[in-house]
Structure 1
């Protein structure tokens, strides 16, 4: 079975996300390792890293994933932003390595007008530089499927395949499959038939074994709309039956599937969504 969880706040310390995850009976958790709205971050202390590792081990969670800052754009044609993005991305990987987080999810980037091929090649170069600068790291970068808004890359399976096939040390890469993004990018997952068609296409082009984590988000917008607006599970255009397909797909057993949907301070929405998802298992 999938390891279910949600993205949790690190307010008060990155270890606090573990407490939140436990409170909603999660199997897994996703975190930012720093304030994702700022380029510069307070250094991660040895004490904070050890506290997180200890709390994670005590909690008995099965999976943990980090998400990098949305400011990072490894596809940027502007050298200053590209260099800044590489430096920030290296810092994110270093934090994950110290925290013992095995996966770092990133949006591939936006070419902002330089074109798809140029943007993809820019990402390849950036990733190879990072791999060269950080040898021996165990944390893997997961390229997230995107919605296809504007000049964003990663909304087609072909984009992901290009990055995986052309980046040296590609064993340090994988994929995070976002249900909302894939759906609004034009891949139907609502019925058993369309789900299997989409998964077969992904397997042929990318390979299902590349998927190391999933984002479970329903969609406020229609199939192929290319509009990235998450909705609560079962209340959007994908619907509960779409998620039933994932929950009963043994190919994803032991993979973290994480909510990124709106919630209040009491996390009631997460509790309800996790309960709904578990009820879909046949």
Structure 2
């Protein structure tokens, strides 16, 4: 699957200067392109957005002007590897037929929007099986994603299944589950994985311990096809190892701490991937600085061995 056209000399220079392509999930209030402008102002190399209201099922189609402004603004600021996150309303593992059908239809719409914007990825949580079972839920996800691939016929944008913390009946908290889905769906050119550090830690992967981090990488090699991981969500965790609770914290200030991010950013395969912050928004009360700026600087310090 080809990457979007970027011709982004400034984006590549920014990545070369920092050693990593880092960004964050940014607000699209005032227009999708506003996220790019906000990201560039904080010296980000990439950006993640919602292409529609995350709390609503329906949305207006993207206008040609919106798409053109998005692409021209991306080109102007030189950001690379832009992605979107799908609505949290979507549950592809839902046993209830009405919710499952609604979820598949919503995924198709979001994926089509990501294609129109020529985004590199669309991140989605696999789903929760609720009143059914893990095998049934996994099969529902596989069927739903296959249907979405047939409807969208993606050319630019991969669907990125995100590993989860395993809260409640949420699926995708082990690489065995994610590997099963990739094999069952059989859409290698259309799919990938987004690895979330907070979710991995909460699911029981001690990524802040060198031997356990290495063990996780061996599990990834064993369970996932080569090159499956396409993006990183870089978040610390408010909750302890194996808590199965998804609560993001600022970089280095949570249960993972600096060491986990040092290991991630030092690994040759993971360090080459674009990374996106989903840490809490606002300003640091001690410095008055934007939290995204604080977290990005901390990641860059950790990557530099500080």
TM-score by length of 1: 0.96
Match of 2:9 in 1: none
After TM superposition, list the pairs within 5 Å mapping 1:94-243 onto structure 2: 94-207=112-225, 209-243=227-261
Distance 2:79 2:245 in 1: 33
Secondary structure in structure 1 of the residue aligned to 2:303: coil
Moved more, 215-224 or 135-144: 135-144
Unaligned stretches of 5+ residues in structure 1: none
The number of equivalent residue pairs is 282
Match of 2:36 in 1: 18
8 Å contact 2:115–2:154 — kept in the other structure?
no
Secondary structure in structure 1 of the residue aligned to 2:27: coil
C-alpha distance after superposition, 1:10-66 (max 9, x if no partner)? 011111000111111111110000101000112211100110011011111122110
Higher relative contact order (CA 8 A, sep 6+): 1
Which of 31, 36, 45 is matched with 1:27 structurally?
A: 45
Match of 1:262 in 2: 280
Q: Do residues 89 (structure 1) and 111 (structure 2) align?
A: no
Unaligned stretches of 5+ residues in structure 2: 1-18
How far apart are 1:267 and its partner, in Å?
A: 6.6
How far apart are 1:169 and its partner, in Å?
A: 2.4
C-alpha distance after superposition, 1:149-198 (max 9, x if no partner)? 11100001111011001113232110000000000100110022221121
8 Å contact 2:119–2:156 — kept in the other structure?
no
8 Å contact 1:24–1:267 — kept in the other structure?
no
Match of 2:294 in 1: 272
Where do 4+ consecutive residues of structure 1 move more than 4 Å? none
Match of 2:14 in 1: none
C-alpha distance after superposition, 1:118-162 (max 9, x if no partner)? 000001111111111222533110000000111100001111011
Distance 2:154 2:107 in 1: 16
8 Å contact 2:154–2:190 — kept in the other structure?
no
Distance 1:136 1:89 in 2: 13
8 Å contact 2:209–2:259 — kept in the other structure?
yes
Which of 66, 83, 92 is matched with 1:65 structurally?
A: 83
